[in-house]
Amino acid sequence: MIFSYYPGCTLSTKAKEMDNHARKCAEVLGFKLEEIEDWQCCGAVYPLGADEVASKLSAVRSLHAAREKGRELVTLCSACYHVLKRVNEDMRDKAMQKTIHTYDDTLNYGGETKVLHFMEVLREYVGFDKLKEKVVNPLKGREIGAYYGCMLLRPSSIMEFDDPENPQIFEEMLKALGAKVVEFPRRNECCGGYISLKEKQKSQEMAGEIVANAHKCGAKELITACPLCLYNVAKTPDSNIYYFTKLLAEALGVGS
């Protein structure tokens, strides 16, 4: 099965390893990520203002490109997933379609593309049972916690990724990989997000609380899907946080 793929700015640069691992894992699991041509940065932050249009154009172009191929659009970065999914929802509104068309008349788009996170492909297209069968290096005895952050989960009415207060999708994956799953209460709390540029102390405090909570619950390692979460959380000593794709690649025998 082939999916259209939107890597995003960070996976093409600082988080290239996440992109590499995801492509290799996809191959093992029997699907292909086909990068859409000429994609543009999604903007990383969903434009919340009801009157913002131009800042949504780049996301619409990618959604439109996937529809033209007749494929679902898969992404890995939490921020890209958040922006693409919410803009896609906005595009179901007729007035919005008209306004976007005014800005760029090559776009006749009405929210038809299905936006999927890589994890949703594992859950809904591959299946965790099948994933389990493909594991060659089970993560036996490893105590791992999944840190979700904000972008994948909220607002759940639009994201529909998982239960926003008690998500299980990463835990299901960890179980399939043979790890000992550690659930910790702060796994859906904010890491401090973009304030870590100007207000480093506040974001480090917030990330520190997340790591302390994970450690208290017994986690020795943490996984995430968000480059900004990784950056903020990794500032805490002994956080031992990395991308979920690294763990997946290791278990599937394609880690480098």
Q: Interface with other proteins by CB under 8 A: which residues? A: 8-10, 13-15, 41, 43-52, 55, 77, 79, 150, 153-156, 164, 189-190, 192-198, 202, 206, 226-228, 230-231, 234
To the nearest whole angstrom, how small is the minimum distance from the Cβ of residue 8 to other proteins? 8
- Tokens standing for residue 210: 């997340």
Give the residue with the Cβ less far from other proteins, 70 or 185. Answer: 185
- Tokens standing for residue 215: 């450690």
Q: What radius of gyration do the chain's Cα atoms show?
A: 18
To the nearest whole angstrom, how small is the minimum distance from the Cβ of residue 26 to other proteins? 22
Question: How many Cβ atoms are within 10 Å of 37's Cβ, its own excluded?
Answer: 9
To the nearest whole angstrom, how small is the minimum distance from the Cβ of residue 205 to other proteins? 10
Give the residue with the Cβ less far from other proteins, 152 or 174. Answer: 152
To the nearest whole angstrom, how small is the minimum distance from the Cβ of residue 16 to other proteins? 11
Alpha helix ranges (H) inside 30-127: 57-69, 78-90, 94-103, 118-120
Among 3, 106, 100, 2, CA closest to 53 = 100
Give the residue with the Cβ less far from other proteins, 10 or 113. Answer: 10
Give the residue with the Cβ less far from other proteins, 28 or 234. Answer: 234
To the nearest whole angstrom, how small is the minimum distance from the Cβ of residue 57 to other proteins? 14
Residue type (1 letter), 40: Q
Alpha helix ranges (H) inside the chain: 16-29, 57-69, 78-90, 94-103, 118-120, 128-134, 156-159, 169-176, 200-216, 227-233, 244-252
173 φ, ψ (degrees, to nearest 5): -65, -45
To the nearest whole angstrom, how small is the minimum distance from the Cβ of residue 54 to other proteins? 11
Q: Is the peptide bond before 138 cis (omega within 30 degrees of 0)?
A: no
Give the residue with the Cβ less far from other proteins, 29 or 111. Answer: 111
Give the span between the Cα atoms of 59 and 78, in whole angstroms: 14
Give the residue with the Cβ less far from other proteins, 54 or 136. Answer: 54
